């Protein structure tokens, strides 16, 4: 059994193309493991299953008053896929915060 999200990876981790002898059961995590929920109250936390899309997770966070500092480019990615490939992202400093010294222009 192997997990399947959006299958954007180039490596044939789910099933080799054209391999009719592959005896693999694919679990579509997007259809069966995509629940989201808020757990607790003080402090609250968000519980997300691996098949949730990054877009759905970010929307859920916003709708519930949460957020993240950095995120990979949104699109057809599952949370499990981002974690599996060590996905990373970037962010823009808040207007009230100063950018790191290395990114400020020389004065």
* pTM of the predicted protein model: 0.72
Question: Residue 43: is the preceding peptide bond cis (ω within 30°)?
Answer: yes
- Which of 62, 45, 46, 56 has its CA nearest to residue 79? 56
CB 75 within 8 Å of CB 5? no
Residue 26 in any domain: the answer is: yes
Residue 96 in any domain: the answer is: no
Neighbours of 70 (CB within 10 A): 9
Residue 74 in any domain: the answer is: yes
Residue 65 in any domain: the answer is: yes
CATH number of the domain encompassing residue 47 = 3.30.465.10
* Average confidence (pLDDT) over 37-41: 91
**Tokens linked to 46:** 């968000």
- Give 23-86 as a DSSP string: ---EEEHHHHS--EEEE-STT-EEEE-TTSBHHHHHHHHHHTT---S-BPPPSS-BHHHHHHTT
pLDDT (tens digit per residue) in 79-98: 988 888 888 887 766 666 56
- Find the domain containing 52 and state its range: 2-89
- Measured distance between the N- and C-terminal CA atoms of the chain, rounded to whole angstroms: 58
Residue 8: per-residue pLDDT: 72
- SS3 category, 90: strand
What is the number of domains present in the chain? 1
Say if residue 105's pLDDT is above 80.
no
Residue 59 in any domain: the answer is: yes
């Amino acid at each position: 059994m192997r997990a399947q999200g959006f299958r954007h990876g180039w490596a044939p981790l789910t099933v080799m193309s054209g391999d009719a002898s592959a005896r693999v059961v694919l679990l579509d995590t997007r259809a069966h493991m995509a629940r989201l929920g808020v757990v607790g109250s003080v402090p609250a936390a968000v519980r997300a299953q691996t098949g949730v899309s990054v877009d759905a997770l970010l929307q859920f966070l916003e709708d519930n008053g949460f957020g993240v500092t950095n995120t990979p480019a949104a699109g057809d990615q599952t949370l499990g896929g981002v974690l599996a490939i060590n996905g990373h992202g970037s962010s823009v400093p808040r207007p009230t915060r100063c950018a790191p010294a290395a990114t400020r222009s020389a004065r």
